[in-house]
Structure 1
Amino acid sequence: MQAVATFLGGRPGERLCRVLQLPTGRTHLLGLLTAPVVPERAPRVLGVDEFAFRKGWRYGTVLVDIEAARVVDVLPDRDAASFATWLREHPGAEIICRDRASAYSSAVREAVPDAQEVADRWHLLHNLSSAVEKTCHQHRSCLRKQAEADRDAEPRRIINPLPPPMLPPTKIAVRTVDRYSDIHRLLGQGHSVSEIARRLHLDRKTVRRFRDTDLDELLASARHGRPKGVLEPFTAYLTERFTDGVTSPTDLFQHERGYQGSDLPVRRYVAGLRTGTVEPARGAIPSPRKITTWIMLPRGTVKLREEEQLLNVRLTCPDIARACDLAWTFHDLLQQRRGHQLLTRIREAERDAPAPILSFAQGLCLDLDAVTAGLTLPWSSGIVEGHVNRIKTIKRAMYGRASLRLLRTRILLRS
């Protein structure tokens, strides 16, 4: 019965016991569970990570013995003070594997300053991937200009040219024009971005976007009817075929190009092209997420066609090419465990790296010892992440009804 309660919990365990003809109730089953005693000394290699009781609201901390691959303890929060107190009460940790969170790092420096901190390699790659994707977003205009230039250079007979798209009288379009004029009027009067944001009750990022973006581009994003979801990758092809004279939605839908949706989005998009109420898709370019995927995948695993597209992107935008080279260099450092070369590569990146990559490199300098250890030592937080996934399974099976004490008991008993 104790094993049933450990692996299934109260109500599911009661149902199983009923089938096995073991007379018991959920309260009795849960009363059989007792949390094991936490060892007085911490494991030599300790892993620490957060998990969510309720995502975005409340978090806890799980402590894992990396060498034994089992959970040592569960803390009710993710505060640095709680973790530091636990480290003082349970001495003995020599290596501590963690993510890039500053709370755990400050707790380690306060409680066990002699311990070796190891930054997790997956989180390093994730941070690098985010920096590469930001670079691709910032230089998307370079790719757009090149794609439009290539499209305009192709000789093509226009049978049914598109009518000039007229701005539909939508509320969001009118609001965009009014907001653009208000922001630029206040900028002309010498007001700062923060002051404009307070006056107009806007976020400062919104004010900067209206300051740095042309009105035509803002209006283009305000047009209604812009296709989303499964149709979006095919809008450039549909626009080109419509321009060539193929205006029947049925003919466009029946053309096999990998589209998995229904014909209704195609009919709506073609109707919008006829009336000019949707923005015609411009030159097809790969999305920043897709370019980032090509860059971050191990070399040799990318398909030949995707390698050609990535080469075109690199030739079009030098900043994306530089971000790609730096990402590959960092990936080689991680794969070959050449942490001793990290500082040299950071200095090289500081000379000519795009802004997001530069910010990533400077962030590594703030946590240099732990990052160097993560690129050198064999330890990582992979086992901890596996336990976090298992905690999610246990937590969701309890449907939020149980207390922290019961959740902690089941986590420790199943580790």
Structure 2
Amino acid sequence: MVQDENHLLIYLQAVNSQACCPECQQNSHRIHSRYTRSPSDLPCFGQKTQLILQVRRFVCINQSCKRKIFTERFNDLIQPHARTTIRLSKVQQQIGLLLGGEPGKKLSSFIGMSCSADTLLRRIRASSRPDDSSVRVLGVDDWAMRRGQRYGTILCDLEKRQVIDLLPDRTSNTLAGWLDSHPGVEIISRDRGGEYAKGAAQGAPQAIQVADRWHLLKNARETLQKVIDRHQKQVHESVKLIAERESQLSSNQPLDSMQPSNSSTPPNTENISRNKKRMMYEQICELHKSGMSIRKIASQLRVGRRTVRRYLRADAFPERAKRSGPSCLDPYLDELKSMWESGVTRATVLWKRLKELGFKGSYSVVNRKVAFWRKKLQTSGDGKSILHNAQLVPQPSSMCLSWLLWKSIDELARNEKKLVKELLQTPMIFQATQLIHEFQTFIQQQNSGGWDNWLERACSENAPIDIRRFGKSLKRDEEAVKAAMESIWSNGQVEGQVNRLKMVKRQMYGRASFDLLRARFLNNA
């Protein structure tokens, strides 16, 4: 053994007097020649370690053997033609699986076994895949290689709770081909995509298909949102009625109980944006009445077809909810109010005084608050303060209203309860909410009792059109939907594996090919 400042050299040679021919497996003691190999090994005391290995060549004594001369093997130490020991290769492989190419290269250099990023990637590709021969309960879901453009399929063994394979696309033929090579699948949990249903029926017709419960509930909530989109007039009237009631109740409300909107956009900018969207809504309605198709409307106005459909589905302009949340001004409201009441009403002066007290917000935050107070309070001729008859309840978005209707009435705040009760006075919204809540109960309690009756009511002509469409889509996939209500299996853990796959994909900076991503993900499960 020789040691210098940067390297540790270890000299080794075999002690056996004979070696086994790798071709005919016969021992030979006839030495032909010797040569030296210099493989790298694991670092020792932080220093790079290199073996100086003296290797012998032997003459095969078997006359019928094709190989006349062979080299002695060190199977526990190093592979033939390799430049690193087996244990160093395994460590490099694990570093590559955990960190990838460039990050793994930096770590390897730091701990004394420097190698290139390409070497680590070769180690990943050479790793062996886990055995996926026996799968009984299979979870299937898609994942984005590049969102909106290319997608793949992830397959999980739900019993063993591990990933078993990644497929390069999400077509039915690819899934069916994989199932053909794995004939033991009995249960397939999947989302409601038609390609997966078709592929599962082709590749494993004997398997029970289970629709994912989370996707079923998501589709139900989105259906409720579509119903609200169609009844915007009733929503406007309900919100206006609630606003008038709140305005009457708060006519004697003190100044500090009135809170402005915490939107970061000034009111005039919000109005401009709203007016643009309203003009867009009116243009879409006019073009649709003239007979123009949705595709042509979207192309002419340069908006998405989904936006055109949403506007056409609504019977009035769909308002957007304003952002709300805590403000950096909240801890200083008492000081601001006292200064306001003492006669200091200029926002610039108030902002400078608050900064002296430690306020770190911008001038616009204070200006919005002061502007709100000026708008709400007006001094009359006799010196009394009166309130404008302004709307105190903001217009919620369709998504926000769908969540309010989705929840139990006991989970809502006081103003939310009033709004929900007012909305439920509309027959179509009431009927849709009732049917969606019943469907929600089927999924959450995993009980399909009364399902046939519910499906008949949902598909009847008296039901809202969006509920009918939802019911018909469930009817086309009825066996999988009923299995979701009765089976213990679902795609929850598959979604978790997709989340882990996203993390691995982003660690590889988006430049890795599918085979490398697949090898790294499957061997790092």
2:501 corresponds to: 391
2:235 and 2:423 in contact (8 A); partners too = no
Match among 170, 185, 189 for residue 97 of structure 1: 189
1:192 corresponds to: 291
| 1: CA distance, partners of 2:112 / 2:223 | 58
1:320 corresponds to: 429
1:243 corresponds to: none
In the TM superposition, what is the alpha-carbon distance from 1:307 to its structure 2 partner?
6.1
Paired amino acid for 2:442 = L
Q: Does 1:414 align with 2:505?
A: no
Q: Does 1:264 align with 2:374?
A: no
In the TM superposition, what is the alpha-carbon distance from 1:149 to its structure 2 partner?
3.5
Q: 1:36–1:142: structure 2 CA closer, same or farther, 3 Å change rule?
A: same
In the TM superposition, what is the alpha-carbon distance from 1:28 to its structure 2 partner?
2.0
| 1: CA distance, partners of 2:128 / 2:284 | 64
Q: Does 1:362 align with 2:454?
A: no
Match among 209, 225, 228 for residue 136 of structure 1: 228
In the TM superposition, what is the alpha-carbon distance from 1:320 to its structure 2 partner?
2.4
Match among 101, 106, 127 for residue 10 of structure 1: 101
1:79-127 deviation line (CA, Å, top 9, x unaligned): 1111111111221111111000000111111222121100000000010
2:409 and 2:417 in contact (8 A); partners too = no
- In the superposition, the TM-score normalised over structure 1's length comes to 0.74
Q: Does 1:288 align with 2:401?
A: no
Q: 1:179–1:83: structure 2 CA closer, same or farther, 3 Å change rule?
A: closer
| 2: CA distance, partners of 1:139 / 1:403 | 48
Q: 1:333–1:227: structure 2 CA closer, same or farther, 3 Å change rule?
A: closer
Paired amino acid for 2:219 = N
1:183 and 1:210 in contact (8 A); partners too = yes
In the TM superposition, what is the alpha-carbon distance from 1:356 to its structure 2 partner?
2.0
In the TM superposition, what is the alpha-carbon distance from 1:335 to its structure 2 partner?
1.8
1:19 corresponds to: 110
1:40-76 deviation line (CA, Å, top 9, x unaligned): 7451111111111110111111111110111111111
Count of aligned pairs between the two proteins: 372
2:161 and 2:493 in contact (8 A); partners too = yes
More strand by share: 2
Paired amino acid for 2:482 = T
2:214 corresponds to: 122
In the TM superposition, what is the alpha-carbon distance from 1:208 to its structure 2 partner?
9.8
In the TM superposition, what is the alpha-carbon distance from 1:195 to its structure 2 partner?
9.8
Paired amino acid for 1:375 = M
Q: Does 1:32 align with 2:123?
A: yes
2:491 corresponds to: 381
1:260-304 deviation line (CA, Å, top 9, x unaligned): 985627857959x98xxxxx868534433223223434x487245
SS of aligned partner of 1:52 = strand
SS of aligned partner of 2:139 = strand
1:193 and 1:208 in contact (8 A); partners too = no
1:68 corresponds to: 160
In the TM superposition, what is the alpha-carbon distance from 1:398 to its structure 2 partner?
0.4
1:147 and 1:285 in contact (8 A); partners too = yes
1:146 and 1:316 in contact (8 A); partners too = no
Q: 1:282–1:27: structure 2 CA closer, same or farther, 3 Å change rule?
A: same
More helix by share: 1
1:331-358 deviation line (CA, Å, top 9, x unaligned): 2111221124322211122344322222
The percentage of aligned residue pairs carrying the same residue is 32
Q: 1:28–1:229: structure 2 CA closer, same or farther, 3 Å change rule?
A: same
| 2: CA distance, partners of 1:293 / 1:175 | 23
Q: Does 1:400 align with 2:510?
A: yes
| 2: CA distance, partners of 1:227 / 1:294 | 13
Structure 1 runs not aligned, ≥5 long = 158-169, 234-247, 255-259, 275-279
CA-based RMSD of the aligned residues comes to 4.5
In the TM superposition, what is the alpha-carbon distance from 1:36 to its structure 2 partner?
3.1
Paired amino acid for 1:20 = I
2:205 corresponds to: 113
Paired amino acid for 2:421 = N
1:345 corresponds to: 454
| 1: CA distance, partners of 2:284 / 2:200 | 50
Give the 5 Å matches for 1:200-215: 201-202=300-301, 206=308
1:35 and 1:408 in contact (8 A); partners too = no
Larger radius of gyration: 2
1:144 and 1:283 in contact (8 A); partners too = no
Q: 1:228–1:135: structure 2 CA closer, same or farther, 3 Å change rule?
A: same
